[in-house]
Chain A
Amino acid sequence: MDQAAPVTLHVQAAQRFSGGFTLAASLDAALHAGAMLVLFGPSGAGKTTMLRQIAGLDRPDEGVVRFGPDVWCDTARSIWRPPQSRRAAVVFQEPSLFPHLTVRDNIRYGVRAQSENAGDDVAAIEAMLGTADLGNRHPRALSGGEAQRVELARALATRPRLLLLDEPFASLDAPTRLRLRRDVRALLQATATPAVLVTHDRTEALAMGDLIAVMIDGRVRQLGAVADVFTRPADAAVAAALGVEAVLPGRVVGVGDGLVEVSIGDLVLHAAEREPVVRGADVYACIRAEDVTIETRSAGQASARNHLAGRIVGIAPEGPVDRVTVDCGFAIDALITRRSREELQLSPGARVTAAVKATAIHLVPRV
């Protein structure tokens, strides 16, 4: 794999739409070879518009798009590079294969005839995506998952400098989606191609992203490493967009009896095994604050598998309930009723135990 210096993707785009939506986003992301930047946010946040600006399919009213040293767009200096010269291949949510061409001709569509080793590259990509056997079929004879594989192969066969993915897995069924995520990730790393992925699916963002840019109302509100952004959202709006769960990066250290042992820092959590994971895999353990209970002394025999000793570092009222933050090596939130808080006489600094059932821990394996 190419370990060259990261390429900086710089976008600063303002675009006003007739419907009232305004994009005013700026982004500066250092993309390592094979790295994935996730554009995350609710529907209508401007993620796809941003992607189209990067691709050169839309032109900002005002703005700059730079990829490394190359200026793709600079409205102030009247610079505009059309999509053809950016080499940023796009994969759309709905398959957009050429219906009159076979799978083989689709995949080779953008391959320049004169480029060397093009045939070998294409063969390697096809082997990894498993499209080689589909060669003579026409797009209408493919399943949704097969069509997206062909589309990915078509994009990667042109050896793009940047791959742009606009919710490419959204219309696939769950098992197909999981397999394809893994294959795409492996392929990007094998070809050292950086990618930008648009998604509103937080599991997908966690599973695939290295960097994440959270977009809300046409603006990038936070950009950073996935684990950092999920554990330290910049403000309440970002936290709400990301969801209310604690997201703890960890590693699987044991699997058995339907339980997965995940080491997080010095602690080991037990989580129910919902989907197969292997020892040594990197995972995120996601815990909703509603599923965390607070104990002031040992409850004796209880069904919750995880008892985490710690100290209360914050109590914030949140509507009818209180959000209690416990530092037990990492921060974990519990939502409890006001009456419980009063009965337990909880206050900042108090030593408590946070209890979480194994079934309440949702593991997201990194792919």
Chain B
Amino acid sequence: MDWSALWLSVRLASATSAALLVGGVPVAYWIVFSPRRWKYIVEAIVALPLVLPPTVLGFYVLVAIGPLSPVGRAYARVVGHGLPFTFEGLLVASVLYSLPFAVQPFSTEFAAVDRRLLEASWSLGVSRAATFRRVVLPLSVRGLVTGIVLSFAHTLGEFGVVLMVGGNLPGATRTVSISIYDAVQSLDYAAASRTSLLLLAVSFAILTSVYALQRSVWIKPRL
């Protein structure tokens, strides 16, 4: 088994989930609580990775972070090397690719919080931000966990985007799904089957826990 590829995938998935927790919560908050009429456009953009072929997303990310774009050039000037075919480049692509898997469970759960609780909190003198922190977030734990776990699992299994943006550099951008592809290309079916079985088991375990969470097997439902 390609342990270095597996380790890289776990690191990438963890970093992606962490970034989505930090970045996805504000996006979900804005989608749920903003009075803007055009927020459906933002919702559609967030959902795009669900329907877009990974190669298309990967292509655009590659162009956007590459030396042809101002962003890519600025990054290269500051850090000393470009984003494409690096772990950081993969991370950017993964965050975009898994965005709906985090933002949608977050926003579903935020929107499910009874509006009267928010109004009661405001009228008790507690600011909107503090109300979000003290009421909405604690009541949305299930949605937060679901979003984190789903984006972790989704990143673990991504292939097309990684190939487009990261290539196949052992230890830097060669993730576990690419190592399976490599193993099959070199007719090493035994290695491919071991790694596939592991991914299958991990994915199943993760999804089982997500659905158990939704059914409140561990966390008692709130009133």
Chain A contact residues, CB within 8 Å of chain B: 55-57, 82-90, 92, 94, 96, 98-100, 109-110, 112, 139-140, 151, 154-155, 158, 164
| B123 interfacial by beta-carbon distance below 8 Å | yes
Instruction: Tell me, rounded to whole Å, the shortest Cβ–Cβ distance linking B145 to chain A.
Output: 15
Contact of A92 among B120, B125, B127, B222 (CB under 8 A): B120
Q: Are A109 and B119 CB-contacts (below 8 A) given A100-B139, A100-B222, A139-B223?
A: no
- Residues from chain B with a CB closer than 8 A to the CB of A89 are 123-124
Q: Are A92 and B122 CB-contacts (below 8 A) given A99-B139, A99-B222, A139-B223?
A: no
Cβ-closest 4 pairs across A and B: A110-B124, A96-B116, A140-B223, A83-B122
| B76 interfacial by beta-carbon distance below 8 Å | no
Interface residues of B in 100-156 (CB under 8 A from A): 114, 116-117, 119-128, 134-135, 138-139
Interface residues of B in 23-53 (CB under 8 A from A): none
- Residues from chain A with a CB closer than 8 A to the CB of B117 are 96, 98
A-B contact count (CB 8 A): 65
Q: Are A154 and B116 CB-contacts (below 8 A) given A98-B135, A100-B138?
A: no
The CA-CA distance from A90 to B138 in the complex, in Å, is 22
In contact, A82 and B122 (Cβ under 8 angstroms): yes
The CA-CA distance from A83 to B114 in the complex, in Å, is 18
On chain B, which size bracket covers the interface?
10 to 19
Instruction: Tell me, rounded to whole Å, the shortest Cβ–Cβ distance linking B127 to chain A.
Output: 6
- Residues from chain B with a CB closer than 8 A to the CB of A110 are 121, 124-126
Chain B contact residues, CB within 8 Å of chain A: 114, 116-117, 119-128, 134-135, 138-139, 222-223
In contact, B122 and A57 (Cβ under 8 angstroms): yes
Contact of A94 among B116, B121, B139 (CB under 8 A): B116
Instruction: Tell me, rounded to whole Å, the shortest Cβ–Cβ distance linking B28 to chain A.
Output: 19
- Residues from chain A with a CB closer than 8 A to the CB of B126 are 84, 109-110
In contact, B124 and A92 (Cβ under 8 angstroms): no
- Residues from chain B with a CB closer than 8 A to the CB of A98 are 117, 121, 135
- Residues from chain B with a CB closer than 8 A to the CB of A112 are 125
Query: Smallest CB-CB separation from B126: which chain A residue?
Result: A110
The CA-CA distance from A73 to B117 in the complex, in Å, is 23
In contact, B119 and A90 (Cβ under 8 angstroms): yes
In contact, B139 and A57 (Cβ under 8 angstroms): no
Instruction: Tell me, rounded to whole Å, the shortest Cβ–Cβ distance linking B113 to chain A.
Output: 10
In contact, B124 and A158 (Cβ under 8 angstroms): yes
In contact, B127 and A84 (Cβ under 8 angstroms): yes
- Residues from chain A with a CB closer than 8 A to the CB of B138 are 100
In contact, A83 and B123 (Cβ under 8 angstroms): yes
- Residues from chain A with a CB closer than 8 A to the CB of B120 are 90, 92, 96, 151, 154
Instruction: Tell me, rounded to whole Å, the shortest Cβ–Cβ distance linking B207 to chain A.
Output: 27
- Residues from chain B with a CB closer than 8 A to the CB of A83 are 119, 122-123
Q: Could you list 18 further interchain pairs (A-B, Cβ under 8 angstroms) beyond the known A82-B122, A140-B222? A: A55-B123, A56-B122, A57-B123, A83-B122, A84-B128, A87-B125, A88-B123, A89-B123, A90-B119, A92-B116, A98-B117, A99-B139, A99-B222, A100-B138, A109-B124, A154-B124, A155-B123, A155-B124
- Residues from chain A with a CB closer than 8 A to the CB of B119 are 55, 57, 83, 90, 92, 96
The CA-CA distance from A82 to B125 in the complex, in Å, is 9
- Residues from chain A with a CB closer than 8 A to the CB of B125 are 84-85, 87, 110, 112, 158
Instruction: Tell me, rounded to whole Å, the shortest Cβ–Cβ distance linking B123 to chain A.
Output: 4
Instruction: Tell me, rounded to whole Å, the shortest Cβ–Cβ distance linking B90 to chain A.
Output: 37
- Residues from chain A with a CB closer than 8 A to the CB of B134 are 109
Can you give 11 contacting A-B residue pairs, CB < 8 Å?
Answer: A84-B123, A87-B125, A90-B119, A96-B114, A96-B116, A96-B117, A98-B117, A98-B135, A99-B222, A100-B138, A154-B120
Query: Smallest CB-CB separation from A155: which chain B residue?
Result: B124
Instruction: Tell me, rounded to whole Å, the shortest Cβ–Cβ distance linking B219 to chain A.
Output: 11
Query: Smallest CB-CB separation from B222: which chain A residue?
Result: A99
Q: Most chain-B Cβ atoms within 10 A of its Cβ — which of A86, A88, A92, A98? A: A98
Instruction: Tell me, rounded to whole Å, the shortest Cβ–Cβ distance linking A172 to chain B.
Output: 17
Query: Smallest CB-CB separation from A139: which chain B residue?
Result: B223
Instruction: Tell me, rounded to whole Å, the shortest Cβ–Cβ distance linking A185 to chain B.
Output: 21
Instruction: Tell me, rounded to whole Å, the shortest Cβ–Cβ distance linking A49 to chain B.
Output: 14
The CA-CA distance from A155 to B120 in the complex, in Å, is 9
The CA-CA distance from A96 to B123 in the complex, in Å, is 12
Contact of B223 among A57, A86, A87, A99 (CB under 8 A): A99
Q: Most chain-B Cβ atoms within 10 A of its Cβ — which of A56, A84, A88, A151? A: A84
The CA-CA distance from A10 to B95 in the complex, in Å, is 52
Instruction: Tell me, rounded to whole Å, the shortest Cβ–Cβ distance linking A194 to chain B.
Output: 15
